[in-house]
């Protein structure tokens, strides 16, 4: 608790500084990552982030110390080389995109590990921190390094805001952009540079192995919540900032704990929450709407059966009779009877069920839809009368009043269905 207060009260100016840095980094990488996610190029970010490792090592070897300019320069160089190689291979070979990305990722990363091991063998005392570039350590970042990463992040955010409409065009319909005379190739190059930079800003705080997660996951998680690009970018940035700060905090309270894995853990938690609970697209929401639809179908089946009994000149049905019609759904049927009783659509007296006025009207509607659909299938789709029932069993719960009107119109307000049964109307007698 003490640590928590110490960290989040920001009384330590270096912590405040790091949190500001992480915030900028989060916004930058989430922005760029969201676009590459929308462009279905999520894997490219992973390839680039692994591919910057040899550049980092080369920068270190050239400078002989952890100089941020050399390291960032090296990372940008090898990231650019990887991006260029992957698009060159795509244009000049018949290899598929995923094999190209797999090759680039493993070759560059493998080479990077070789260099890293070589540097460690030299026994250079400066090399201690170099391991951080694999999994990241936000707390260990020096202030001078932070300036470099922070201003790069700012550069990314500004460029992206300035070119928002161009990048949307690139992702949605690049061909059209070319047709109206926009330099789409140049815009693609700028986007690729931003992509490389957004990996580079995270190498020290998050690490090269997990940086791809910070690029892609925020956008993917935010996509569950919204269909608007503006909201999507803001939400993605928010997710990235939250997980960045969580990762930093854990690195702060547990010494030697890398930041990257914790950023990924908290990001994945946010993604999981989005996947489960987001309205409309979330699993829970879809489950609930399916359940309520099923409930509706059970209720409608009860009403329909009672109406059919009335057609056979019975005034109603015994509960047992009704249950035996739906032997698989006994509990659901009982529940439906209860709810329908509560809403006053039917009356239960000593185990005998009768429809009330409102229930009868609703029951008529369902039977009418069922029979209208059967007639439509028979007349317009040439399906034999003994093959139309199953489809109508499903469609009777779905057809909207507008569709019903359209069906009635097409079929010229028919009186009988293909089985010569009456299509009931509200103005009928019974």
Partner 1 sequence: MIQQVENPILEIHDLTVSYDQSPVLWNVDLSLPEGKLIGILGPNGAGKSTLIKAIMGLVQASGGYVKIFNKDLEQVRNRISYVPQRESVDWNFPASVLDVVLMGTYGKLGLFKRPGKKEKELAHNCLEKVGMNAFASRQISELSGGQQQRVFIARALAQEADLYLMDEPFAGVDMATETAIFQLLQEMSKEGKTIVVVHHDIHSAMSYFEWIIMLNLHLVASGPKQEVVSEELLRKTYGGKLNLLTKVTDLIRKKEFNPLKN
- Minimum Å gap between C-beta 258 and partner 1 is 34
Residue with smaller CB distance to partner 1, 164 or 348:
164
Residue 177 engages partner 1 in binding (rule: CB under 8 A): yes
Judged on CB neighbours under 10 Å (0-12, 13-18, 19+), 380 is exposed
Number of shown-chain residues binding partner 1 (CB under 8 A): 26
Give dist(CA 314, CA 124) in Å, integer. Answer: 96
Let me know: does 206 contact 247? Beta carbons within 8 Å: yes
Which segment (6-14, 178-186, 266-274, 286-294) binds partner 1 by CB under 8 A? 178-186
CA-based nearest residue to 366, from 381, 345, 380, 349: 345
Site string for partner 1, 155-174 (x = CB under 8 A): -------xxxxx-xx-xxx-
Indicate whether 89 belongs to the interface with partner 1 (CB under 8 A). Answer: no
Tokens 């930041």 -> residue: 259
How many angstroms separate the first and last alpha carbons of the chain? 73
Check binding of 338 to partner 1 (CB under 8 A): no
Order of all β-strands in the sheet with 346-349: 317-318, 352-355, 346-349
Q: How far is the CB of 196 from partner 1 (least distance, A)?
A: 21
285 interacts with partner 1 by CB under 8 A: no
Pattern 19-58, partner 1, x by CB under 8 A: -------------------x-x------------------
For the beta carbon of residue 382, count every other beta carbon within 10 angstroms: 7
- What CA–CA distance (Å, rounded) separates 159 from 378? 61
Tell me the torsion sign for CA atoms 411, 414, 419, 420. Answer: negative
Based on CB atoms, which residue is closest to partner 1, 163 or 193?
A: 163
Q: Choose between 180 and 384: whose C-beta lies nearer to partner 1.
A: 180
Nearest approach, Cβ of 149 to partner 1 (angstroms)? 26
C-beta closer to partner 1: residue 102 or 171 = 171
d(CA 122, CA 120): 5
Shortest Å distance, C-beta 369 to partner 1: 23
CB 177 to partner 1: min, Å: 8
Name the minimum Å distance from CB 238 to partner 1: 16
Contact flag: residue 384 with partner 1 (CB under 8 A)? no
| Shortest spacing between CB 51 and partner 1, in angstroms | 27
Length of the chain: 430
> Are 233 and 180 contacting, i.e. CB atoms less than 8 angstroms apart?
no
Do 251 and 258 form a contact (C-beta atoms < 8 A)?
Answer: yes
Task: Report the nearest approach of partner 1 to the CB of residue 59 (Å).
Answer: 33
HSE toward the beta carbon, residue 387, CA cutoff 13 A: 7
Q: CB 275 → partner 1: shortest distance, Å? A: 17
Give Cβ neighbours of residue 19 (< 8 Å, ≥ 6 apart): 10, 245, 248
Task: Give me the 203-242 binding string for partner 1, x by CB under 8 A, dash otherwise.
Answer: --------------------x--xxxx--x----------
Q: By C-beta, is 6 or 182 nearer to partner 1?
A: 182
Does 69 engage in binding with partner 1 (CB under 8 A)? no
- In the complex with partner 1, which residue's Cβ is closer, 122 or 173? 173
- 321 makes contact with partner 1 (CB under 8 A): no
DSSP string, 226-276: -S-HHHHHHHHHHHHHHHHHHHHHHHHHSTT--SHHHHHHHHHHHHHHHHH
Q: Please report how close the Cβ of residue 237 comes to partner 1 at its closest, in angstroms.
A: 15
Show the binding pattern over residues 180-199: x = contacts partner 1 (CB under 8 A), - = does not: xxx-----------------
Q: Which two tokens stand for residue 45?
A: 């970010």
175 near partner 1, rule: CB under 8 A: yes
178 binds partner 1 (CB under 8 A): yes
Looking at the Cβ atoms of 286 and 430, the one nearer to partner 1 is: 286
Rounded Cα distance between 157 and 31, Å, is: 7
Minimum gap (Å) between residue 39 Cβ and partner 1: 9
CA distance 384 to 376: 11
Q: Which parts of this chain interact with partner 1 (CB under 8 A)?
A: 38, 40, 162-166, 168-169, 171-173, 175-182, 223, 226-229, 232
């Amino acid at each position: 608790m003490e640590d928590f207060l110490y960290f989040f009260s920001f009384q330590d100016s270096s912590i405040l500084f790091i949190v500001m840095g992480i915030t900028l980094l989060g916004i930058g990488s989430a922005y760029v990552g969201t676009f590459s996610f929308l462009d279905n190029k999520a894997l490219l970010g992973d390839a680039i982030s692994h591919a910057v490792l040899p550049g980092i090592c080369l920068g270190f070897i050239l400078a002989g110390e952890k100089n941020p300019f050399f390291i960032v320069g090296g990372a940008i160089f090898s990231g650019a080389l990887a991006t260029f190689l992957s698009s060159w291979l795509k244009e000049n070979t018949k290899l598929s995109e995923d094999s190209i990305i797999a090759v680039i990722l493993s070759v560059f990363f493998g080479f990077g590990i070789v260099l890293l091991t070589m540097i460690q063998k030299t026994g250079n005392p400066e090399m201690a921190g170099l391991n951080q570039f694999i999994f990241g350590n936000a707390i260990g970042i020096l202030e001078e390094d932070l300036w470099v990463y922070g201003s790069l992040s700012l550069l990314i955010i500004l460029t992206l805001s300035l070119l928002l409409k161009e990048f949307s065009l690139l992702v949605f319909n690049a061909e059209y952009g070319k047709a109206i005379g926009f330099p789409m190739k140049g815009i693609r190059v700028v986007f690729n540079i931003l992509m490389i930079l957004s990996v580079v800003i995270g190498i020290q705080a998050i690490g090269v192995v997990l940086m791809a997660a910070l690029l892609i996951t925020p956008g993917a998680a935010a996509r569950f919540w919204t269909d608007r690009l503006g909201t999507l970018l803001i939400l993605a940035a928010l997710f990235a900032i939250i997980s960045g700060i969580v990762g930093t905090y854990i690195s702060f309270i547990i010494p030697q704990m890398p930041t990257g894995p914790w950023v990924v853990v908290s990001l994945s938690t946010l993604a999981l929450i989005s996947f489960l609970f987001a309205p409309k697209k979330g699993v829970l929401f879809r489950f609930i709407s399916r359940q309520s639809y099923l409930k509706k179908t059970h209720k409608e089946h009860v009403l329909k059966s009672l109406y059919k009994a009335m057609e056979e000149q019975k005034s109603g049905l015994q509960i047992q009779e009704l249950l035996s019609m739906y032997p698989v759904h006994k509990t659901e049927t009982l529940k439906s009877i209860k709810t329908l009783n509560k809403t006053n659509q039917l009356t239960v007296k000593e185990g005998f069920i009768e429809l009330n006025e409102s229930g009868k009207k609703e029951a008529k509607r369902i039977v009418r839809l069922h029979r209208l659909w059967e007639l439509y299938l028979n007349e317009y789709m040439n399906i034999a009368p003994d093959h139309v029932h199953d489809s109508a069993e499903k469609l009777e719960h779905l057809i909207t009043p507008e569709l019903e009107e359209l069906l009635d119109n097409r079929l010229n307000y028919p009186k009988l269905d293909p089985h010569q049964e009456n299509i009931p109307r509200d103005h009928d007698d019974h």
